[in-house]
Structures are given as structure tokens and as C-alpha cells.
Amino acid sequence: MPRAKLSEKGQITLPAAIRRKMGWTAGRELQVEVSESEVVIRSLKTLDELQGIFHEYVRSRKPLSHEEETRLMEQAVAEHVANE
């Protein structure tokens, strides 16, 4: 199992094998969650990665209210995340 070491500045470097496997490059934004005994690091989706997940929710050409657009976008993101 790959290992990392905490620097004096509190930084860690993820091993190259993990970065390659995840497709993470410099500047990638990560979400860090902490529980009692572990730290979980997850990649945040970029706008490019989210592009296209809303297309199936646009069912008509009529203008939607802001509230309806927001509801449809939240639904699309929730389904996208649940399917990962």
C-alpha cells in the first residue's frame, strides 16, 4: 500500500501511482473529510466533467423559472453522484 509522509508544514504528497490512477494533476481541487479515525480525500468535479449531465433534463424549449432550473440541476447532480 502506498504511503505518504506529513511535512513540517503539514503538507503531504500523494504518491505518483495514486495520482496517475486517479488522473489528478497539479492544481486539482480535492475535498477533505475528517472522521474520528480517518481522513478521506475526494476529487471535486470540474465544470468540464459536469458538462452534459443536464441535457436529459431539458425536455422543452419553453423558458423555465429560476426555481425550476435550480430544482432540475440539483436533481441531475444528485443522480450523477449517486450513479458513480
pLDDT digits (tens, 9 = 90+) for 44-70: 876 666 666 666 656 555 676 778 778
Task: Specify the higher pLDDT residue, 81 or 31.
Answer: 31
At 77 the pLDDT is 82
pLDDT for the residue 59: 57
Q: Are 39 and 32 in contact (CB under 8 A)?
A: yes
Taking only the tens place, the pLDDT of each residue in 27-51 is: 888 999 999 999 999 888 766 666 6
Domain that residue 64 falls in: 47-82
Q: For residues 23 and 10, is the Cβ–Cβ distance under 8 A?
A: no
Answer yes or no: do 53 and 40 share one domain: no
Say yes or no: 16 and 52 in one domain. no
pTM as predicted: 0.55
Residue 39 in 3-state DSSP? strand
Query: 36 and 59: one domain?
Result: no
Place of cell 473529510: 33
